[in-house]
Amino acid sequence: MPTFNKKDISLTYYPALELIFAVARISLNHEYIEDKENGIPLDKDIEKWVNVSLDNLGTKQKDIMNFYFDDDGYLGLGLSKLKEELSKDCTPIDLINYLEKISTKKLSYYLLLGGYDGKLEEDELKRNIDFHNIYDWITKNFVVNARGRWKIFRILSKPDEVQEELCDFLRIFYKKYFIKFYQDQDVVQFIKDYIRKNEDDLKGAFLDYTNYILSKEAQDKIFLNNQLNVNISYFAGVGDVFIPEQNRFTLGYKFPDKNLPGLEHQIFKYSQLFKSLADETRLKLLLELKDGSKYLTQISDSLNISSPTVKYHLEKFLSSGVIEIERADKKKYYKLRKDKIKEVLNVIKELFRIY
């Protein structure tokens, strides 16, 4: 595997994208609450602003926000790829204006990126707008649950309505909740200063994270690039947006705080895995792989579970590092990483001092 060092990483900051991450931070607040319960220090100013915003957002506004930014596909986070089309100096209001002007097909493309299983191309989207095969295409290609599939269908079937609704919401959110806090905190200058002072820690956290969650195959793909651009966000806080297939990497500025020392770090690292194992379907899926690697339809047929559902659950284990992907005979195989399972058992022994 190619050697990948901190010098190969370029840290960037896009002011326009902070609007996207600000909305996502509010919608995904439950995930940050879990982080806080696991001892991860959150930014108190952001936390206070999130709570005030949640108290003041109307029911309709919350519904729209959660439609695009909750964890049923992380649709709104696909807009983070817009950094490839925007200048680094582009402002949040410039972003809203841009979203109002682009074609509905292009907007749909960006919204669907987060839930697509693989690398979505714009021409792929154009080929599957036909209503006779659209739902079948969604079912086969998106790693989302039933609610997420319904959202994708709405985006594709009512693109004009979606564009108007999303842009109106972002403009209201910008004026009522975002801009004052953004200016009072002087976010742009703060992040620029922070990146300069904490460059080494941010790059180190990114390297640790990729080594932990990515299979060797996935690492090989992203490490082929001579230089990786990692976006640093104020509003993402301790969170991240990490989609290797699209070379999209965003870390919250406090992300290195997740690298807690010693056993405390191990507890946090495996807590999400323990939660995944508490789900009966996911436990069956993991046990299905204990005797060897299998491809998707084999797992689906054996457990009598639809392929999209299997893919959705596999994603949880991929992010925990206990499953990795292999390719052979043009097929994608899922393999249990028994070394990671042993790590988990060792953590349990250490926690309860079992010898």
Q: What is the pLDDT at residue 125?
A: 73
Read off the pTM. 0.77
In a domain, 40, yes or no: yes
Three-state DSSP class for 295?
Answer: strand
Kindly indicate the confidence band of residue 1, based on its pLDDT and cuts at 50, 70 and 90. Answer: very low
> Alpha-carbon distance 165 to 60, whole Å?
11
Asked whether 195 and 11 are in contact (CB, 8 A), the reply is yes
Average pLDDT, the chain: 83
27 pLDDT above the threshold of 60: yes
Q: Are residues 217 and 274 in the same domain?
A: no
User: 200 and 149: one domain?
Assistant: yes
The percent of residues above 90 in pLDDT, for the chain, comes to 37
Residue 330 lies inside a defined structural domain of this protein: yes
Q: What length does the chain have?
A: 355
- 305 in the same domain as 251: no
Question: What 3-state DSSP class applies to 325?
Answer: strand
Query: Which stretch of 75-84, 85-94, 337-346 has the lowest confidence by average pLDDT?
Result: 337-346
Dihedral sign from CA coordinates of 277, 282, 284, 289: negative
Residue 125 shares a structural domain with residue 88: yes
User: What pLDDT sits at residue 174?
Assistant: 97
What does the pLDDT read at residue 212?
A: 65
- 138/61 same-domain check: yes
Q: pLDDT at position 115, please?
A: 75
- State the CATH number of the domain containing residue 315: 1.10.10.10
**Strands 9-12 and 228-233: what pairing?**
parallel
Does residue 63 surpass a pLDDT of 50? Answer: yes
Question: How much is the pLDDT for 268?
Answer: 55
Query: Do both 153 and 252 map to the same domain?
Result: yes
* Together in a domain, 91 and 179: yes
Residues 243 and 269 occupy one common structural domain: no
With respect to residue 271, please indicate whether it lies within any of the assigned structural domains. Answer: yes
The model's pLDDT over 163-215, given as tens digits with 9 standing for 90+, comes to: 999 999 999 999 999 999 999 999 999 999 999 999 999 999 888 877 766 66
pLDDT at 62 over 80: yes
Q: How confident is the model at residue 44 (pLDDT cuts 50, 70, 90)?
A: very high
The range of the structural domain enclosing residue 309 comes to 262-352
Question: How confident is the model over 127-148, as pLDDT tens digits?
Answer: 666 666 787 788 777 767 778 8
Q: Which of 107-116, 168-177, 330-339, 340-349 has the highest mean pLDDT?
A: 168-177
How far apart CA 126 and CA 120 sit, in angstroms, is 11
Would you state the pLDDT for residue 269?
Answer: 59
Query: Is the per-residue pLDDT at 86 higher than 70?
Result: yes
**Do 208 and 290 have their domain in common?**
no
Q: In this structure, are residues 110 and 86 in contact, taking their beta carbons and an 8 Å threshold?
A: no
Single residue among 257, 273, 308 that ends a domain in this structure: 257
Query: Per the structure, how many domains does the chain have?
Result: 2
Query: Do both 205 and 288 map to the same domain?
Result: no
Is the pLDDT confidence value at 261 over 60?
no
C-alpha distances in Å from residue 97, one per residue of 19, 65, 148, 158, 173: 13, 18, 27, 20, 14
What's residue 59's pLDDT? Answer: 96
Last residue of a domain, one of 257, 291, 306: 257
Predicted confidence at residue 145, as pLDDT, reads 72
Take residue 334 and report the two structure tokens written for it.
């899922």
In a domain, 1, yes or no: no
**Cα separations in angstroms, 89 against 17, 79, 161:** 11, 17, 29
The helix (run of H) or strand (run of E) holding residue 335 is: strand 331-336
Nearest Cα residue to 173 out of 28, 22, 68, 69: 22
pLDDT value at 71 more than 90: no
214 assigned to some structural domain: yes
How much is the average pLDDT of 293-315? 81
Residue 273 has pLDDT above 90, yes or no: no
56 half-sphere exposure, CB direction, 13 A CA radius: 11
Q: Which residues contact 330 (CB under 8 A, 6 or more apart)?
A: none
Residue 329, in any domain of the structure: yes
**263 pLDDT higher than 60:** no
Token couple for 23: 């909305």
What is the mean predicted confidence (pLDDT) over 148-159?
90
- pLDDT tier, 319 (very low <50, low <70, confident <90, very high otherwise): low
Structure tokens at 70: 């909750």
Residue that is last in its domain, among 257, 288, 321: 257
Q: Do the beta carbons of residue 172 and residue 94 sit within 8 Å?
A: no
The pLDDT score that the predictor gives to residue 267 is: 58
Beta carbons of 111 and 73 less than 8 angstroms apart: no
Same domain, 163 and 309: no
The full DSSP string for 119-150 is: ---HHHHHHT--TTTHHHHHHHHB---HHHHH
Q: What is the mean pLDDT of residues 292-306?
A: 85
The predicted structure's pLDDT at residue 250: 92
Tell me if 35 is assigned to some domain: yes
Q: Is residue 2 part of a domain?
A: no
Same domain for 179 and 232, yes or no, is yes
The pLDDT, as a whole number, for residue 118 is 67
Sequence-ordered strand ranges (E) for 176-300: 228-233, 240-243, 248-252, 294-295
